[in-house]
Amino acid sequence: MPEVFHYTMTYPAFWLDYYYLVTWFLSMLFLALVWAIFFRYGKFSYGVDLGCFWKTSLIVVLTTVSLGAPMYYNTRFAGEHGQDGDSVKITGDKVLYMDRKGNEKRVVLTDITAIYQELITYNPPPKIFVVAAKSPVKDSLFVTTNLPGYKRFLAELTRRTGVEAKLH
């Protein structure tokens, strides 16, 4: 009997597919607003003027914020919710990973050579890689600790493959 593990959908599918467009649009809108205010109320002089220095510093900082904030949010969001709606299924002789859009990845259980957690997690949650390298093509898939029952998944995978999961 196949074991099926599902990532929960904490956000609507539309938001999961297009959040980055919305965040970048809002940040560019913010940047346009900052520049509009800057050009409307800014008085420019071409000499050494501390007022011009502070206005220029302010526009540089606000430009950095408008570009950096969506980058931070998008990176964090993709790490935490990038697998929402995906499922992992262990059948008789293979592991099937299906994302929420219907794309499927198959790994044969006898080809699995390693199960390990990434050494350094730059973007939480930590990823646990399942590597298949005995066939002519080396392939891998990963699950995160956000997968409900991921410890049970790893225990079942270890039991069926004989490859110990290296977690830390």
Domain ranges of the chain: 10-81, 87-166
- Please give the CATH number for the structural domain made up of 87-166: 2.30.29.30
Is 130:116 a contact under the CB 8 Å cutoff? Answer: no
Give the angle subtended at the CA of 59 by the CAs of 55 and 64, to the nearest 5°. 150
Model pLDDT for residues 51-97, shown as the tens digit of each residue: 677 777 888 899 999 999 999 999 999 999 999 999 999 998 999 99
Distance CA 40, CA 61 (A): 18
Q: 27 and 67 in contact (C-beta within 8 Å)?
A: yes
- Alpha-carbon span 74 to 23, nearest angstrom: 8
Q: Are 30 and 85 in contact (CB under 8 A)?
A: no
Q: What is the pTM of this model?
A: 0.80
